[in-house]
């Protein structure tokens, strides 16, 4: 089967899994202005932004020969559950008879989940499927581990752009790895490469940590969020995202009674502000801001797609959490009209505020303890 999927984050993972199941993978191009324009042209005007970008991405993959689209579904009061139907209808109306395989939680509808696996494995023996799944799960964890390092080190790199170049090379190395042994050596090599990056020495007052929260697609896909992680890093801030693929997979794989994942803990932290699930990742966003507040992060950037109802709700609660946990939050709405220069200026101004606040706090601590707090941050 000529298979494609929505482009989101470290696509090497989805590509490899489908390849290992014996498919001819049509890699969708990384979303660009052209992708967005195509998506906007064919999508309903008031659809949420990710639907439009993914729509454009599908058209581009179909042009490259894709016949089947593998994607995830959604449930609850959010449009994600309708994405596949809307996308399929639009594609049909443009003359593309494309098949969809939609994965939802295996606990919600085990039969459909099993049927989807059956379709996807397409005769591949079960032991091979299991081996591939375990290998990919291991790969996701390793890549996330390295990406977290990237998001920290890049804030202090001496040579602008070096960490990003190395991170891209690391992903290529993983793309070539098909066994647990080669995966292990790609990980080891990646770690060594990252540790060898020359970094600046930064005083504790000047090193800040920013969390990024919001709807999963705009948080994970940098081509549509103004490369937010790189932008924050280039302004000297360490970054952590609210979503990593390994966390998402683990949370969705485990039954409730043994689900002690980070995601579960974050949902609990969001409970006092949003007691019920309102769709998307609104409750996680809120819980994650609480988590960052408790872990002494200096600020949070909240990303929301224009037209996203769950994130609109979380946005309305953000000022209260920001006050309760004394943590500044900057909300940025993203869509096809987003002005990059304007938002970059907002981010720069936000970081100035965050730095000022941090200095004040450290001065206060110094006065109380009578000595300078630990002198340096993680830049070493
Ligand atoms: S979470 Fe928001 S952006 Fe994502 S599908 Fe739901 S409504 Fe759309």
Are 120 and 217 in the same domain?
no
Helix axis angle, 49-63 relative to 83-93, nearest 10°?
50
Confidence bin at 374 (pLDDT 50/70/90): low
> Is 181 inside a domain boundary?
yes
The pLDDT value recorded for residue 377 is 62
Are 219 and 269 in the same domain?
yes
From CA 213, how far away is CA 209, in angstroms rounded?
13
Mean pLDDT of 236-264: 87
The pLDDT value recorded for residue 371 is 61
CA torsion angle for 197, 201, 205, 208 (degrees, to 10)?
-10
Mean pLDDT of 327-343: 92
- Per-residue pLDDT of 211-226, as tens digits, reads 999 999 999 999 999 9
> Is 378 inside a domain boundary?
no
In the chain the first and final C-alpha atoms are separated, in Å, by 49
Q: How far is the CA of 35 from the centre of ligand 1 (A)?
A: 19
Detail the DSSP E strand segments found in the chain: 2-4, 24-25, 68-72, 99-103, 208-214, 237-241, 299-305, 329-334
- Per-residue pLDDT of 285-321, as tens digits, reads 999 999 999 999 999 999 999 889 999 999 999 999 9
The answer to whether the beta carbons of residues 3 and 18 sit under 8 Å apart is yes
Are 216 and 311 in the same domain?
yes
Q: How far is the CA of 274 from the centre of ligand 1 (A)?
A: 17
Are 72 and 201 in the same domain?
no
Are 16 and 117 in the same domain?
yes
Mean pLDDT of 14-33: 93
> Is 380 inside a domain boundary?
no
Question: Does the pTM of the predicted model rise above 0.85?
Answer: yes
Please work out whether the CB of residue 305 comes within 6 Å of at least one atom of ligand 1: yes
From CA 8, how far away is CA 218, in angstroms rounded?
9
Distances in whole angstroms, Cα of residue 36 to Cα of each of 49, 119, 221: 9, 30, 13
> Is 361 inside a domain boundary?
yes
In this structure, what are the phi and psi dihedrals at residue 293, rounded to the nearest 5 degrees? -60, -45
Are 50 and 182 in the same domain?
no
The pLDDT value recorded for residue 138 is 95
β-strand partners of 304: 333
The pLDDT value recorded for residue 378 is 55
- Per-residue pLDDT of 262-293, as tens digits, reads 889 999 999 999 998 888 899 999 999 999 99
Are 106 and 143 in the same domain?
no
Pocket probe for ligand 1: among 282, 309, 312, 332, the residue whose CB has the most ligand atoms within 8 Å is 309
From CA 247, how far away is CA 245, in angstroms rounded?
5
* CA 233 from centre of chain: 16
From CA 311, how far away is CA 95, in angstroms rounded?
34
Q: What is the residue range of 336's domain? A: 136-369
Q: How far is the CA of 333 from the centre of ligand 1 (A)?
A: 13
Mean pLDDT of 241-255: 88
């Amino acid at each position: 089967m000529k298979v494609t999927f929505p482009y989101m984050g470290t696509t090497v993972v989805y590509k490899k899994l489908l390849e290992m199941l014996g498919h001819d993978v049509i890699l969708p191009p990384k979303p660009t202005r052209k992708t967005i324009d195509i998506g906007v042209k064919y999508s309903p005007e008031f659809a949420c932004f990710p639907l439009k970008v993914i729509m454009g991405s599908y058209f581009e993959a179909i042009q490259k020969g894709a016949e089947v689209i593998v994607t995830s579904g959604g449930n609850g009061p959010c449009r994600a559950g309708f994405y596949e139907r809307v996308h399929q209808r639009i594609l049909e109306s443009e003359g593309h008879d494309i098949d969809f395989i939609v994965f939802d939680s295996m606990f919600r509808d085990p039969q459909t989940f099993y049927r989807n696996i059956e379709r996807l494995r397409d005769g591949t023996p079960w032991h091979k499927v299991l081996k591939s799944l375990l290998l990919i799960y291991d790969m996701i964890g390793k890549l996330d581990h390295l990406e977290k390092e990237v998001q920290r080190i890049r804030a202090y790199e001496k040579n602008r752009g070096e960490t990003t170049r190395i991170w891209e090379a690391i992903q290529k190395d993983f793309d070539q790895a098909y066994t647990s042994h080669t995966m292990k050596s790609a990980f080891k090599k990646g770690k060594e490469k990252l540790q060898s990056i020359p970094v600046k020495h930064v005083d504790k007052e000047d090193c800040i940590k920013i969390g990024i929260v919001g709807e999963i697609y705009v948080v994970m896909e940098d081509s549509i969020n103004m490369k937010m992680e790189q932008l924050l890093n280039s302004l000297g801030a360490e970054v952590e995202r609210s979503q990593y693929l390994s966390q998402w997979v683990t949370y969705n794989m485990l039954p409730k009674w043994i689900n002690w994942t980070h995601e579960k803990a974050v949902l609990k932290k969001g409970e006092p502000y949003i007691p019920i699930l309102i769709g998307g990742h609104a409750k996680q966003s809120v819980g994650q801001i609480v988590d960052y507040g408790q872990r002494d992060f200096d600020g949070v950037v909240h990303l929301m797609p224009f037209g996203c109802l769950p994130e609109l709700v979380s946005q309305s609660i953000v000022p209260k959490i920001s006050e309760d946990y004394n943590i500044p939050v900057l909300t940025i709405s993203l869509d096809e009209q987003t002005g990059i220069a304007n938002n970059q200026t907002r981010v720069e101004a936000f970081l100035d505020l965050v730095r000022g606040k941090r200095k004040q706090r450290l001065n206060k601590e110094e006065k109380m303890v009578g000595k300078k707090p630990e002198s340096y941050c993680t830049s070493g």
